Structure formats: structure tokens, C-alpha cells
Homo-oligomer: A and B are copies of this chain.
Amino acid sequence: MIETITYADGAVRLLDQTRLPTEVVVHDCRTAAELAEAIRTMRVRGAPALGIAAAYALALGAREYPGEDPAAFRAHLERVAAEVRATRPTAVNLFWAVARALAVADAALPQGVAAAREALLQLAHRLREEDVAINRQMGAHGAALVPDGARVLTHCNAGALATGGYGTALGVIRGAVEAGKRLHVYVDETRPFLQGARLTAWELHADGIPLTLITDNMAGYFMAQGKVDLVIVGADRIAANGDVANKIGTYSLAVLAQAHGIPFYVAAPLSTVDLGLPDGAAIPIEERAPTEVTHLAGQRIAPEGIAVANPAFDVTPARYVTAIITERGILRPPYEAALRTALATADDSGVERPASEEPPASGARAR
């Protein structure tokens, strides 16, 4: 069992994803600021994991306020929330978790600051446990889409490391394997941060699931050779119409899949859905540091003084998405109706989603 985020002795413990696969190092965060920095530097990453980490950040932040004054506590919590929201703009789960945490704190505050602190910590624990359960549900649903013997291509890391455990896209792969299917996974290395080469390859190899590591630009080659039966990726945010923001390169894969008649599936919990955005055009796309492109393992791999682009995500229009695999089942186009129905079902079924929740990050936060 890969322990992406745990909590012990007052510290949030992250399996440091900047050190994998060559080193397995646990990075402890004892303050909200330390955890926010760990999110920014991608020691923890992946949309669902960011939601869990954000909830823990608010729990740590709540502990840092020493007094018992509810209004001052709430103002402090709002500053922590702002710091967490400022870390990474694209994955909506982070904003969703912050909103949930603030709602939970507000509900507990009448019982005092200590009660609110405890409620925040319990929320973070619960989000983590819920996430694993949700991923297992996705895995069970999605396995039906994966034929025995399938060659599956995936991009980035939508695995245990991107979540509380088990994974979204890799959860579907794990679900299919647990259902007795023999799979082979083509793993895109996923430049520039190499989440595929470093994290997905490591996870699958540890689980004994056969894989072939490829560079991102080889995907079309293997599709043309008839060696890819389906593509499964995760998502950082899904707009109301089904447009999907995910790791840079996802859009190119989707276009290639369609050109080759290959199904393109997105596996994501419903917390990834942002009904506040009508389509993907308003999803904020994070631009990360040029050094992620120009340097690798501390070594310069490009000349000095040149311009570099580093958008961390792209948006795949819904028309390229064959189906969206969620914890409430497999959604098919038209997505707007399917997503709204699934979210209503989720609200009825005990998966928490406060009706009063503020809309997550809108286009106004875009950069």
C-alpha cells in the first residue's frame, strides 16, 4: 500500500514525489506554510491528493492559532485558506476541499475553537479515507471498459500517488487487473516533470503490472501500429459541459486517439467537476517555472537566455472524451446532463458535498 499522505504525531507526512523513483523519502510538514510549500513544489501532486493535502493544511493552520476567540480564529483560517488556494490554480479539488474545510469549521465553531480544530483534522482524515473508497468504486465501474488483453496508454500519474490511494486512471487499471484481466500499460513519461517515468512506472512496477515506458511523442507511433486499445487519464478539473483539464499533453493524446479510432476515457471523482464553469475555456492553466523544462536532475539541457513555455495543463474538449468514469458510474455524452445527474445522486448517497459550498475557483483566478 503506497502511503501518499498520512498523519502522525502532529505532522502531515508526504511520500516526497520529487525524490521518487530513486529515493523513497517521507517529507514531514508541521505547519500550514510548510505544507503549502510542499504543494507548490510538487512533493505532493495530483488533483485528489491536492484536495486531501489542502484539508490537512487547514487543519495544521487551525492548530497554529493559539487563542480561543472564534472571530480571530476564523480570520486566521481565512488567511491560511488564501495561502493554500494560491499554491496551484488548476486542480479544482484543492478549492473544493478548502471550501469544505471552511464550512466544517463554521459548523463546529459554535462549540468553540478547539471543536473546530478537531473537526478540521477529522475532515482531512475523512477526505483521505473517502478518496480511497471513491477510487475503488471508480476502479470497479471502469474495469468493465477494459477488455482482457488490452494495451492501455496512460499519461502523467493518476495513481495512488495522485490520490489518497489506489488511484483514478490507475485505479481503473488496478480494478481491471483485480477482475482477472491481463493488461499491458504504455506509460507516457510526461515531460517536463516526468510523473509517468518517475511515478506511474514505479507504481505499476511495484504492483507487478506489465508496462512499457515511452516518451510522450511516441504515443502516436504506437497508436498507428495498432498497439494501443484505449487511453485512460485522470483530470484536474471538468467543466459542466465535460471539457477536461488535465496534465499538459492530454489534449494531444485525445486528438491522436480520435484520429486512430481509439477510446479515450477520463477517470475522475465527482469532486473534480466544476459546474461553475460552463466549458473549459475559463479553466485557469498554471504556468510553471521554465527551469522544469531547461533543467533535469539539476543539469542544464537547453541553452541559457532562451524563452520557454511551461503550461502545466491543457484542456481536452468534451467531444474527444469517450466516457468519464466516476464513483457513481460511467458517464457518456452529453456530459452536462450526465454530470448534473451524477452529482445529484452523489449528494443523495452519503458522499458529502455541502449544498452551501461556494463555487470553486472561477475563471477570475486564471492566469
List 23 A-B residue pairs with CB atoms under 8 Å apart, sorted by A's residue number: A188-B217, A189-B191, A191-B191, A191-B217, A197-B293, A205-B306, A212-B306, A212-B307, A212-B309, A214-B308, A215-B216, A215-B248, A216-B216, A216-B217, A216-B249, A217-B249, A217-B252, A218-B249, A221-B251, A221-B311, A255-B255, A259-B259, A296-B296
Tell me whether A307 and B211 are in contact (CB under 8 A). yes
Report whether A202 and B303 are in contact in the complex, using a CB–CB cutoff of 8 Å.
Answer: yes
**Most interface-central of A252, A297, A314 (chain B CB within 10 A):** A252
Residues of B within 8 A of A306 (CB): 201, 205, 211-213
Interface string of A288-317 (1 = CB under 8 A from B): 000001101111111101111111001100
Closest to A203 in B: B303
Q: Is the CB of A252 within 8 A of B256?
A: yes
- Min C-beta distance of A241 to chain B, whole Å: 16
User: Chain A binding site: helix, strand, loop or mixed by DSSP?
Assistant: mixed
Interface size grouping (class) on chain A: 35 or more
Q: How far is the CA of A240 from the CA of B256 in the complex (A)?
A: 26
The verdict on A99 contacting chain B, using a C-beta distance below 8 Å, is no
Q: A221 — nearest CB in chain B belongs to which residue?
A: B314
From known contacts A256-B256, A299-B297, infer whether A311 and B218 are also in contact, taking CB-CB under 8 Å. yes
Looking at A189, A205, A218, which has the most chain B CB atoms within 10 Å of its CB?
A: A218
B contact residues around A201 at 8 Å (CB): 302-303, 306
Contact A297 B297, beta carbon cutoff 8 Å:
yes
CB–CB A302/B216 < 8 A: no
The yes or no answer to A35 lying at the interface (CB within 8 A) is no
Asked if A90 is an interface residue, CB under 8 A from chain B, the answer is no
